[in-house]
Each structure stands twice: as structure tokens, then as C-alpha cells.
A = this chain, B = another copy of it.
Amino acid sequence: MEYPSKLIEEAVNQVSKLPGIGKKSALRIVLQLIKEKKENTFALTEALTKLRSNIQYCKHCHVIADQAECSICTGIRRDKSILCIVEDTKDIMAIENTGQYTGLYHVLKGVISPLQGIGPAELTIDSLIERVSKPDSIIKEIILALSPTMEGDTTSFYLHKKLKEFPVKITVISRGIPIGGDLEYADEITLGRSISSRTLFS
């Protein structure tokens, strides 16, 4: 497509690099910004510039944070004897939203995926081992909360092998039929697993 202006062309090119946005949506966004007050665009660019300039990763759990230590790791009400292992920051947000968990986290920053060239060394596994093996560690339980995919399961298996030498209980989040889900539409593997790992009715 030809653009009537180089400024529009460059802005559309940049906006269409964002995930989930094609050239048509990018053009719509750019034309909308031109229609609106300048201040709206400047508020957006300032927020993104600040974000990218100042964002850090928590030195304990590697979550994306404003400071060198995140609000969860420094929270006085958190149970520091439980550690939940997740793939990325989005997973922490999802678990926090449930309100069911008060322990700490450890962000792996990915999962082992030989096809994408991601091995254990690319993840924060060394830092996890360090946290668990510290002489003054009070960690009693480690929850593996990775996605139920081939890569997630491989990573859980690897972590289990690395962690079983330490005096911690290793658990995994339960898999089964989603609440509100219909048996009829559940896939066979999930349904089979939910039968074999049935629990006492209480």
C-alpha cells in the first residue's frame, strides 16, 4: 500500500511490528492518533519510554518489577516457605488474580524447548537451585505450575530431577476438567487423566 506521507508510513511500519497488529490495524491506529489531541500520543510514547528505560527484573524471583526487589518477595504477609515455579510474569498475574496463593514465586523466563534452542542454561534454573540450597533457606515446598504442554512437562521433569536431592516437597498443580467445562467436550487425554487422578469426594 502507498501512504500519502512518509511520517505515516514510518509510524505504520513501527506499529505493525507489535504482536497481533497488521498493517491495516496499524494504519487505523495511526490515523486515530492524528485525529486526537497531540497530548494523547505523547502520553502513550512517554509511558512506553519510561517502561522500557526503567523496568527491571526482581533479583530474587525474576518477575518484571519497578525496583530491584518485587512487591511479592518483600511482602510481609507472604508465606516464604512455599515457592511456585512459573514460566513468565503473566502466569504470576493469573495466579495472583485467583487470590488462592500467598507464597513466593520463581519465574523461569521460559521452558526447555530444544526446537527453539532453549536449554536449561537459558532459564533461571541456577538461581532457583541457589535459592533452595542456601544454608538459611526456609523453603519447604516447591509447586511446579508450568503449562501442560510437551515443553512444560519436560521442564517439570528436569526440575524434579534437579530438586529432589533437597529436603523440599515437590508438588504440581492439578490437571483435569475445567470448572464449568462439559465432559462431552473435554479431550480424551484430559478426561483420562482426570479419572486416573481422581480424589476423594468431600
Contact A14:B47 (CB < 8 A) given known A38-B53, A92-B4: yes
A115 within 8 A of B: no
Contact with B along A1-36 (1 / 0, CB 8 A): 111111110110111011111000101111111100
The bracket for how many chain A residues form the interface is 35 or more
Q: How many copies does the complex hold?
A: 2
Q: Name the residue of chain B whose CB is nearest to the CB of A63.
A: B4
Judge if A48 is at the interface, Cβ distance under 8 Å. yes
Q: Which residues of B lie under 8 Å from residue A42 when comparing CB positions?
A: 49, 52
Q: In whole angstroms, what is the CA distance A32 to B27 when docked?
A: 20
Interface status of A97 (Cβ within 8 A of chain B): yes
The segment from A66-74, A128-136, A153-161 that touches chain B is A66-74
Instruction: Note all chain B residues with C-beta closer than 8 A to A14.
Output: 43-44, 47-48
Is the CB of A189 closer than 8 A to any CB of chain B? no
Q: Is A41 an interface residue (CB 8 A)?
A: yes
Q: Contact at A6–B66, with CB atoms within 8 Å?
A: yes
Does A55 touch B at the CB level, under 8 Å? yes
B34–A65 contact, CB under 8 A? no
Known A-B contacts A4-B72, A17-B44, A93-B2; the reply to A30 vs B51 at CB < 8 A is yes
Contacts of A70 on B, CB cut-off 8 Å? Answer: 4-5
Q: Once the chains are docked, how many angstroms separate the CA of A63 from the CA of B3?
A: 11
A45 touches B49 (CB 8 A): yes
Contact A55–B34 (Cβ < 8 Å): yes
Per the bound structure, the CA–CA distance linking A23 and B47 in Å amounts to 15
Most B-side CB within 10 Å, residue of A20, A48, A70 = A48
Interface check A202, CB cutoff 8 A: no
In the complex, chain B residues whose CB is within 8 Å of the CB of A49: 41-42, 45
A residues apposed to B, CB below 8 Å: 1-8, 10-11, 13-15, 17-21, 25, 27-34, 38, 40-45, 47-55, 63-66, 70-72, 88-90, 92-93, 96-97
